[in-house]
Chain A
Amino acid sequence: MEFFRIRKDIPFMRHALVFNIVSLITFLLAVFFLATKGLHFSIEFTGGTLMEVGYAQAPDLQQIRKQLEGDGFADPQVQNFGSSRDVLIRVPLTKDTETSKIGERVMASLAKASGGTQGAGAAPELKRVEFVGPQVGKELAEDGALALLLVIVGIMLYLAMRFEWRFAVSAIIANMHDVVIILGFFSFFQWEFSLPVLAAVLAVLGYSVNESVVVFDRVRETFKKKRGLTTPQVLDHAITSTISRTIITHGSTQMMVTSMLIFGGAALHYFALALTIGICFGIYSSVLVASPLVMWLGVSREQFVKAKVEKQEAVV
């Protein structure tokens, strides 16, 4: 079996401008949504109390909400989680001194709410409580930003050392644009941005940089081996000869992620979703965004073939 029967190099670079404009528009849209709508942060970042409770029968969410408000919880969020019998309740942080008692108070309130309609015995079962104080959330956001920064700097240094600064810059730009687009999706659909999602975003960043690395490796090799090709031709050749591997690899990773989407349940849902978006845009950006960028930045045969003296100059 062979999926990719490509006779000639595909002229990707002829359409480089189109690809770059498409990604610029997507990128700007993502930034726009991030700026206007913001991210829907999970309580790990904002602080507050989250509870997951299971009922024997599907409860009336409206009534639970009313009961909670009646019991003095400002702005509680009540929603189904996984199934109609599982309910997720979020209570924002209050200036209350006894924050750690909120869990018990909510349970008491829920017992009251269900007592009214379904009689005794319909009180819910507590499955999970998560309480996060305000100082924790702030640190998490800071640590997340620091981790992102470390990844960017680390990868750029490595690529600049292993290849050339032009590759480092374009790979990082291409893949940062992935990250922003993933965040844009989370902002547009107001999906919950939690810690596992942050982990997924950073993992995807490393993963799609590796995509660019594979293409760049080929670029370097082609520059060294084949004479008389123009830079766009070299890039076309490199992309064409790696495209089958790119698609098969991403397809395989996506199979795993799809399996997580199907079997992983609500807890892994957004994690897998972030990975899916990351993988799809990763192919696009590392192949069709990073390579044109390298071209614009003026990569050429001399940087790889000639004596090392000039290479050092290029690094500066």
Chain B
Amino acid sequence: MNRYPLWKNATVLIALLLGLLYTLPNFFGEVPAVQVASVKATHKVDLKLMNQVEAILKSAGIAPQGIHLDLNSVRARFADTDTQLKAKDAIEKALNPVPADAAYSVALNLVSNSPNWLTGMHALPMYLGLDLRGGVHFLLQVDMKGALVKRLDSVATDLRTLMRDKNLRHAGIARNGDEVTVLFRDTDTREKARQAMVSSQPDLALLEGQSGADYSLKVTLKPQSIKTFQDDALKQNIATLNKRINELAVAEPVIQQQGADRIVVQLPGVQDVARAKDLIGRTATLEVRMVEQAAVLGNEAPVGTDLVPERRRDGSVTMVAVKKLVVLTGDRFNGAQATFDENQRPAVAVQLDAAGGRIMRDVTRENLKKMMAIILIEKGRPEAISVATIQGEFGNRFQITGMFTPEETNTLAILIRSGAVAAPMEIIEERVIGPSLGADNIAKGFNSTMWGFVAISVFMVAYYLLFGFVSVFALSANLLFLVALLSLLQATLTLPGIAAIALTLGMAIDANVLINERVREELRNGSSPQAAITAGYERAWATILDSNITTLIAGIALLIFGSGPVRGFAVVHCLGILTSIFSSVVVSRAAINLIYGSRRKLESVSIGQIWKPGV
């Protein structure tokens, strides 16, 4: 008799039901929605915000289809895109009365239309990759070397301050490559300086030496602190990117570390590539330095200064010599808003943190009537955006003028607000997929899978009759499990992923063909139908396992080494192999047992004509 114990039948039934449940959300489609998320740490996303959004919509006369709150956003669903746009404007206006100082990001989004009880049990539709939904993908390479140089520059500054505070006379502090050299007139001072450095800067490695008549101290970063520094730099860059992208109001941005020094940024649905790239790719930092007014300008920068171009309002460019010593860097800035100054020229109002404010106050007091430059460094090119005479003592609030258009001040304000990137970045990979192409890709992938499935089904049923039908049932179960797993894991589905679904189904039928052929063979050799079923499944099992494991090895290799589109393919391929073993062996056997298993006198099975040689 071919009967499964109750627990096996129950397992199959439960698996099928779960599969159905988690596949379900994919059928409901998506509806337009407005997503509200917080940009500032002080503004929490909570029930209060949800009620607020509800009230705003009510007063604007817009009826949402539903509002719900999740971990870090409030989403309101709407019947059509027109209402969605209207609602976005209303919410934006009410929540962010001052656009330049927005507390919330209000973004257009598409959310699943599945009922709440499904969403509640984490049954979500498959997560579509960028090539299916349209959007922008960037891969950024972080320039760790550049970051290290920057770090050493600030070490040099710190050391200068340290020497001054401890009243130690040095004969020069300079950075050469990846080390800072400090020179002293005598060994005694050097020893005192060394002790001061060791106690105040524990992550520095010091090496004593001699340079001409002077005694030197070569300062480098310890390997361990280089590593921590690089990790921190990457983290800070990601945090900065997060802040900047929040300003773009993207619904579900992905910002992730990839490898040791790379960052992936994915912005689904974003079409304004130029603006996205401008904000992401920018590595602007601000520096405040004093101008060396006594310098005679030639082609060479005078000693101790850098030559920086200054764009004047009349369009001409002149060079300014600024001192190498940096008074302040961008990381001392707390906030920035685009405004207009008293002459109605565009300006950026900035706030400094406490330490920055103190430095600024000291410097401005000591340098009254001297000139100070604010330098914007982008892609390694410094530009003095504002060169002005210090008229009075500054506190921690002041204005930067010198930009020419409100757009420029706006962008600069965003850049300052979101903080400086710790290390410069460069876009090394970029993909933009238009929304129509995404929809097109879904249709193509879907059609390929569907027609391939239909062709296989027709053939299997025609060739193996009822056994063929059972095979098709098992194949459908396989598809169901695969889609359910992908939905449950929220693995990214890409076009190669869809191709992998099709290919996996095409390969999975192999197991059923093996079984059916084995059963036929047993029948041909004269076994009774029940015995043939048992033997067919049992003998085919070892072969099925072997062949699936070899395929799985290839899949895993792709998973390990694949990146981007190949990874999407590999994930689906591996999952598909696993589900196919279960469905083609266990599910199909359960079905066959249900049909034939309980019949005592089984004369024949419907597996197509059995041809016997010599008959």
Q: Does B81 contact A (CB under 8 A)?
A: no
Given contacts A256-B452, A265-B440, 8 further A-B contacts (CB under 8 A): A1-B609, A125-B434, A135-B428, A158-B549, A207-B507, A245-B513, A256-B453, A263-B447
Overall SS of chain A's interface: helix
CB-based contact B557/A151 at 8 Å: yes
Q: Does A312 contact B (CB under 8 A)?
A: no
Segment from A15-23, A62-70, A110-118, A210-218 that makes contact with B:
A210-218
Q: Does A313 contact B (CB under 8 A)?
A: no
CB-based contact A252/B510 at 8 Å: yes
CB-based contact B444/A202 at 8 Å: no
Given A203-B503, A252-B509, A255-B459, A260 and B448 contact (CB-CB distance below 8 Å): yes
Contact partners of A214 in chain B: CB under 8 A = 514, 543, 546-547
CB-based contact A100/B553 at 8 Å: no
Could you say which of B277, B509, B517, B554 contacts A202, with CB atoms under 8 Å apart?
A: B554
Given A1-B463, A7-B613, A263-B447, A199 and B551 contact (CB-CB distance below 8 Å): no
The docked-state distance in angstroms from the alpha carbon of A129 to that of B271 is: 12
Given A2-B608, A213-B546, A275-B503, A144 and B561 contact (CB-CB distance below 8 Å): yes
CB-based contact B495/A268 at 8 Å: yes
A-B contacts, CB under 8 A, total: 240
Given A7-B614, A129-B431, A256-B505, A199 and B448 contact (CB-CB distance below 8 Å): no
Q: Does B560 contact A (CB under 8 A)?
A: yes
CB-based contact A248/B499 at 8 Å: no
Q: Does B555 contact A (CB under 8 A)?
A: yes
Min CB distance A278 to B, Å, is 11
Per the 8 Å Cβ criterion, residues 534-575 of B in contact with A are: 542-543, 546-558, 560-566, 569-570, 573
A-B contact pairs, 19 of them (CB 8 A): A6-B613, A7-B614, A44-B564, A97-B379, A127-B436, A131-B429, A133-B426, A143-B561, A147-B558, A147-B560, A155-B553, A199-B565, A203-B500, A206-B555, A211-B547, A214-B514, A248-B517, A253-B503, A271-B496
Per the 8 Å Cβ criterion, residues 252-278 of A in contact with B are: 252-260, 262-265, 267-268, 271-272, 275
Given A128-B434, A146-B561, A259 and B553 contact (CB-CB distance below 8 Å): no
**Can you list, as one digit per residue, whether each of A228-265 has a CB less than 8 Å from chain B (1) or not (0)?**
00000000000001001100110111111111101111
Contact partners of B274 in chain A: CB under 8 A = 104
Contact partners of A255 in chain B: CB under 8 A = 452, 455-456, 459, 506
CB-based contact A150/B561 at 8 Å: yes
Per the 8 Å Cβ criterion, residues 146-161 of A in contact with B are: 146-148, 150-151, 154-155, 158-159
CB-based contact A128/B548 at 8 Å: no
Contact partners of A129 in chain B: CB under 8 A = 273, 430-432
**Can you list, as one digit per residue, whether each of B346-380 has a CB less than 8 Å from chain A (1) or not (0)?**
00000000000000000000000000000000010
Could you say which of A99, A196, A205 contacts B569, with CB atoms under 8 Å apart?
A: A196
CB-based contact B550/A209 at 8 Å: yes
The docked-state distance in angstroms from the alpha carbon of A103 to that of B277 is: 11
Q: Does A136 contact B (CB under 8 A)?
A: yes
The docked-state distance in angstroms from the alpha carbon of A158 to that of B548 is: 12
Q: Does A5 contact B (CB under 8 A)?
A: yes
Min CB distance A300 to B, Å, is 21
Q: Does A52 contact B (CB under 8 A)?
A: yes
The docked-state distance in angstroms from the alpha carbon of A133 to that of B444 is: 29
Q: Does B47 contact A (CB under 8 A)?
A: no
CB-based contact A199/B434 at 8 Å: no
The docked-state distance in angstroms from the alpha carbon of A7 to that of B612 is: 8
Contact partners of A154 in chain B: CB under 8 A = 553, 556-557
CB-based contact B551/A147 at 8 Å: no
Contact partners of B453 in chain A: CB under 8 A = 256
CB-based contact A130/B431 at 8 Å: yes
**Can you list, as one digit per residue, whether each of B428-465 has a CB less than 8 Å from chain A (1) or not (0)?**
11111110110011001101110111011001101100
The docked-state distance in angstroms from the alpha carbon of A54 to that of B139 is: 25
Given A143-B561, A206-B554, A267 and B139 contact (CB-CB distance below 8 Å): no
Min CB distance A304 to B, Å, is 14
Overall SS of chain B's interface: helix
Interface size in chain A (residues, C-beta < 8 A): 76
The docked-state distance in angstroms from the alpha carbon of A214 to that of B451 is: 28
Q: Does A198 contact B (CB under 8 A)?
A: yes
Q: Does B64 contact A (CB under 8 A)?
A: no
Which residue in chain A gives the minimum CB-CB distance to B611? Answer: A2
Interface size in chain B (residues, C-beta < 8 A): 81
Q: Does A162 contact B (CB under 8 A)?
A: yes
CB-based contact A256/B437 at 8 Å: no
CB-based contact B141/A210 at 8 Å: no
CB-based contact B562/A143 at 8 Å: yes
Could you say which of B273, B517, B550 contacts A210, with CB atoms under 8 Å apart?
A: B550
Per the 8 Å Cβ criterion, residues 119-139 of A in contact with B are: 125-133, 135-136
Min CB distance B584 to A, Å, is 12
Q: Does B610 contact A (CB under 8 A)?
A: yes
Could you say which of A44, A125, A203 contacts B555, with CB atoms under 8 Å apart?
A: A203
Q: Does A74 contact B (CB under 8 A)?
A: no
Contact partners of A209 in chain B: CB under 8 A = 550-551, 554
CB-based contact B496/A128 at 8 Å: no
Contact partners of B552 in chain A: CB under 8 A = 206
Could you say which of A3, A136, A265 contacts B429, with CB atoms under 8 Å apart?
A: A136
Contact partners of A146 in chain B: CB under 8 A = 561
Contact partners of B550 in chain A: CB under 8 A = 155, 158-159, 206, 209-210, 213
Query: Chain A residues in contact with chain B, CB under 8 A?
Result: 1-3, 5-7, 44, 52, 97, 99-100, 103-104, 125-133, 135-136, 140, 143-144, 146-148, 150-151, 154-155, 158-159, 162, 195-196, 198-199, 202-203, 205-207, 209-211, 213-214, 217, 241, 244-245, 248-249, 251-260, 262-265, 267-268, 271-272, 275
Which residue in chain B gives the minimum CB-CB distance to A97? Answer: B379
Q: Does B238 contact A (CB under 8 A)?
A: no
The docked-state distance in angstroms from the alpha carbon of A256 to that of B508 is: 11
Min CB distance A251 to B, Å, is 8
The docked-state distance in angstroms from the alpha carbon of A230 to that of B431 is: 60
CB-based contact A128/B448 at 8 Å: no
CB-based contact B432/A103 at 8 Å: yes
CB-based contact A143/B546 at 8 Å: no
Given A2-B610, A202-B554, A143 and B563 contact (CB-CB distance below 8 Å): yes
**Can you list, as one digit per residue, whether each of B41-65 has a CB less than 8 Å from chain A (1) or not (0)?**
0000000000000000000000000
Given A2-B610, A147-B560, A196-B566, A206 and B513 contact (CB-CB distance below 8 Å): no
Q: Does B427 contact A (CB under 8 A)?
A: yes
The docked-state distance in angstroms from the alpha carbon of A196 to that of B565 is: 7
The docked-state distance in angstroms from the alpha carbon of A162 to that of B564 is: 34
Contact partners of B273 in chain A: CB under 8 A = 103, 129
CB-based contact A245/B514 at 8 Å: yes
CB-based contact B554/A151 at 8 Å: yes
The docked-state distance in angstroms from the alpha carbon of A103 to that of B278 is: 13
Contact partners of A147 in chain B: CB under 8 A = 557-558, 560-562
Could you say which of A148, A198, A241, A253 contacts B521, with CB atoms under 8 Å apart?
A: A241
CB-based contact A133/B429 at 8 Å: yes
CB-based contact B554/A205 at 8 Å: yes
CB-based contact A210/B452 at 8 Å: no
Contact partners of B277 in chain A: CB under 8 A = 100
Q: Does B502 contact A (CB under 8 A)?
A: yes
The docked-state distance in angstroms from the alpha carbon of A260 to that of B230 is: 45
Could you say which of B520, B542, B564 contacts A195, with CB atoms under 8 Å apart?
A: B564
CB-based contact B566/A267 at 8 Å: no
